[in-house]
């Protein structure tokens, strides 16, 4: 196994990123999306993040994309411009190798360099792995919404973790 590298995402990464993300849509309540995304959808999302001046990173190991992390605007109103929502996804079986933490630390570093004040991570609960990842890189729980989403025939809570940069 080669050492992982982290780099900015490009449109060419969209098929791999969609391939990582779609099982979360189809098989879990981690994502609140319900319809798988196409590579074209994902390419547009990568472009939107890049055009907003925010980072989208991919982690490569063994010659392929194994995970990704990105930040989006928290809300559209101007006073929120110093806050972002963050996301990290790894392909199935890639957890437990420290790659999520590596992606998150790289993302946080870029956000700090851009002068972002607050990073917010939303987590569909329960999700012990995601909670542990967020807390390992310094996030603290800030909010808990009960039964805010409905997917796979059940109500789902969402917690928000925040990190002041």
Neighbours of 11 (CB within 10 A): 14
Question: What is the greatest pairwise CA distance in the chain?
Answer: 45
| Domain residue ranges in the chain | 5-164
Read off the pTM: 0.95
pLDDT digits (tens, 9 = 90+) for 40-95: 999 999 999 999 999 999 999 989 999 999 999 999 999 999 999 999 999 987 77
pLDDT digits (tens, 9 = 90+) for 107-120: 999 999 999 999 99
134: left (phi over 0), alpha (psi -120 to 50) or beta: alpha
CA distance 61 to 87: 19
- CATH level 2 (architecture), domain 5-164: 3-Layer(aba) Sandwich (3.40)
CA distance 82 to 72: 11
């Amino acid at each position: 196994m080669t050492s992982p590298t982290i780099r900015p995402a490009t449109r060419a990464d969209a098929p791999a990123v969609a391939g990582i993300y779609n099982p979360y849509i189809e098989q879990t309540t981690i994502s609140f999306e319900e319809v798988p995304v196409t590579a074209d959808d994902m390419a547009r999302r990568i472009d939107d993040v890049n055009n907003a001046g925010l980072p989208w990173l991919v982690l490569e190991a063994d010659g392929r994309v194994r995970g990704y992390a990105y930040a989006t605007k928290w809300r559209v109103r101007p006073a929120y411009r110093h806050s972002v929502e963050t996301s990290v996804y790894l392909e199935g079986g890639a957890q437990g190798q420290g790659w999520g933490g590596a992606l998150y630390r790289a993302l946080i570093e870029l956000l700090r360099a851009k002068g972002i004040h607050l990073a917010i991570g939303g987590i569909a609960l329960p999700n012990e792995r995601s909670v542990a990842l967020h807390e390992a890189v310094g996030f603290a729980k800030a909010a808990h919404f009960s039964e805010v989403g409905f997917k796979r025939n059940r109500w789902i809570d969402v917690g928000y973790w925040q990190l002041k940069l």
